Amino acid sequence: MTEYARAERRQLADLLHQVGPEHPTVNAGWTTRDLAAHLVVRDRRPDTMISVVIPPLAGHAEHVRLAKAAQPFSEVIQELRTPPWWSPLSNPLVDELSNTFEFFIHHEDVRRATPGFSPRALPPGEQKALWNAVRVTGRLALRKAGFPVRLEAPGFGTVRVGGDEPRVTVTGEPGELTLFVSGRQRVAEVEVTGDPAAAAQLKSADLSM
Among the candidates 86, 111, 136, a domain finishes at 111
pLDDT one-digit tens code per residue, 22-46: 999 999 899 999 999 999 999 999 8
Co-location of 155 and 101 in the same domain: no
Same structural domain for residues 131 and 99?
no
* Residue-range definition of the domain harbouring residue 184: 124-204
pLDDT digit string (tens) for 105-151?
999 999 999 888 999 999 999 999 999 999 999 999 999 899 999 99
Q: Tell me the pLDDT band of 1, cut-offs 50, 70 and 90.
A: very low
Residues 9 and 103 occupy one common structural domain:
yes
pLDDT tens per residue, range 67-84: 999 999 999 999 999 999
Question: Among residues 76, 111, 146, which one ends one of the domains?
Answer: 111
Could you say which DSSP state residue 91 is in? S
For residue 133, give the nearest of 93, 111, 103 by alpha carbon: 103
Q: What is the CATH number of the domain that holds 136?
A: 3.30.1050
* 145 to 97, 160, 168, 208: CA distances (angstroms): 26, 13, 10, 12
Q: Is residue 95 domain-shared with residue 23, that is, in the same domain? A: yes
SS3 156: coil
Does a structural domain hold residue 209? no
SS3 158: strand
Looking at the 3D structure of the chain, how many domains does it have?
2
- 5 and 92 in contact (C-beta within 8 Å)? no
